[in-house]
Amino acid sequence: MTLAATLQRAHLAELTPYASARRSMSGGAVWLNANEAPVTPVLAETATQLNRYPSFQSAALNQAYANYAQVSAEQVLSCRGSDEAIDLLIRSFCEPGQDAIMITTPTYGMYAISAQTQGAGVVDVPLVSAEDGTLQLNVDGMLDAMASNSQRIKLVFVCNPSNPLGNNVNLVELKRLIESVGDQALVVVDEAYIEFAAHELATNRNVQALNEVSQWLAKYPQLVVMRTLSKAFGLAAIRCGFALANTDVIDVLRKVIAPYPMPQPCLDIAEKALSAEGIAAMQQAIAETTAQRLTFVEAIANKPWIKKVWPSCTNFVLLDVENAEQLVEQCRLGGVLIRNQSAQRGLNNSVRVSIGSAAEMQQLMEVLP
């Protein structure tokens, strides 16, 4: 029995997923099997098959992302952003009222919210201070919590690079965690900001190559990697993300995902973004964003109201400030929105600033105290 088969919710073992018209049949020149309209009336002259349901999983898109991530297409599930991947994993592997997920605060909030929505427990093992000024995984504490928690922990979520901190996770410790967890749970590494970290590999020894962790899938059946086109590719509006995992995990997720998870126009845009031209444009945009981040950090470094500028390899910077609420409000009144992160564990009076265009960053500088 595979790892995914032992960890999945018990009732899914007998579940036969819905066989949609696109999923169950292919080929044919006349499609009369899905109760679709023959045309799109309002767009009849310009629409390209908008009257047809999209593929359950776009073979072209999944292959394009597999090539980009250096995995096989069978290890890719495309979905509506990483948020849907989080939800699918919890719905697939956590029995409500019995199982739990593990998070490492401060971290992305949707892990806990999705678990709570599905009735799963949330076990928090906070990050700990490291010598380089970052916060890092407390692997020993995480393993102790897995062994002692009353609910079985099925999913361990690790945000790498970290949101909201901005730094890369220590890969030696991440690998130790994965190996120590073994077949007890799935370790889910959320790489939403991985392209920004990989861009800095030549100058920053604390970051990682684009596909370093995704290559671990060949060795670790308990590993899941989440990716997105929302950040570096600048496509947040199309809601396109990916779960990368070994085929037994992907097969379980395919039981739970919606019959037609992504609209065809979004699939088309995503596929174009993953072309050679699209990837080159993305990399150029990352270079520009990184330059803007470095300029911003240098410009604010000596501001008296800043207590700490957290190290970042992403498209945002976390700042410890004297009064976060007051600063956020001052920026808002000046027409610039930044994010108050003070509710996060250990981040009292902290704000997160996304790196925008040169004009946007100049406007921010004009409204900062």
Contact between 130 and 152 (Cβ < 8 Å):
no
154 phi and psi angles, rounded to 5 deg = -100, -30
Residue 363 CA to chain centroid, in angstroms? 29
pLDDT of amino acid 19: 77
Work out whether the CA dihedral 89, 95, 100, 106 comes out positive or negative: positive
pLDDT in tens, 13-70: 888 887 777 777 777 777 766 667 676 666 656 556 788 889 999 999 999 999 999 9
Topology of the domain covering 3-20+56-274: Aspartate Aminotransferase; domain 2 (3.40.640)
Which one-letter amino acid corresponds to residue 80? R
Residue 80 CB neighbours (<10 A): 19
Q: How far apart are CA 166 and CA 65, in angstroms?
A: 24
Express each pLDDT in 64-123 by its tens digit.
999 999 999 999 999 999 999 999 999 999 999 999 999 999 999 999 999 999 999 999
Task: For residue 63, give the nearest of 75, 81, 79 by alpha carbon.
Answer: 75
Q: How far apart are CA 75 and CA 288, in angstroms?
A: 32
pLDDT of residue 45: 60
Residue 306 amino acid letter: I
Task: Give the residue with greater pLDDT, 39 vs 127.
Answer: 127
- Look at residue 312 and tell me whether its pLDDT is greater than 90: yes
CATH 3.90.1150.10 is right for the domain spanning 278-367: yes
Quick one: pLDDT band at residue 283, thresholds 50, 70, 90? Answer: very high
Three-class secondary structure assignment of the chain: CCHHHHHCCHHHHHCCCCCCHHHHCCCCCCCCCCCCCCCCHHHCCCCCCCCCCCCCCCHHHHHHHHHHHCCCHHHEEEECHHHHHHHHHHHHHCCCCCEEEEECCCCCCHHHHHHHHCCCEEEECCCEECCCCCEECCHHHHHHHHHHCCCEEEEEEEECCCCCCCCCCCHHHHHHHHHHHCCCCEEEEECCCHHHHHHCCCCCCCCCCCCCCHHHHHCCCCEEEEEECCCCCCCHHHCCEEEEECHHHHHHHHHHCCCCCCCHHHHHHHHHHCCHHHHHHHHHHHHHHHHHHHHHHHHHCCCCCEEEECCCCCCEEEEEECCHHHHHHHHHHCCCCCEECCCCCCCCCEEEEECCCHHHHHHHHHHCC
**Could you give the strand order of the β-sheet that contains 186-190, starting from the edge strand earlier in sequence?**
76-79, 241-245, 223-228, 186-190, 152-159, 99-103, 121-124
Read off the amino acid at residue 301: A
For residue 82 the two structure tokens come to: 């990483």
Q: Considering the chain, what is the average pLDDT of its residues? A: 93
Residue with structure tokens 């992504």?
262
The reported pTM is: 0.94
Instruction: Look at residue 307 and tell me whether its pLDDT is greater than 60.
Output: yes
Please give the structure tokens belonging to residue 13.
């073992």
- pLDDT confidence tier of residue 318, bands split at 50, 70 and 90: very high
Q: In the chain, where are the structural domains located?
A: 3-20+56-274, 278-367
- How far, in Å, CA of 19 to CA of 25, rounded? 9
Per DSSP, what are the bridge partners of residue 317?
353
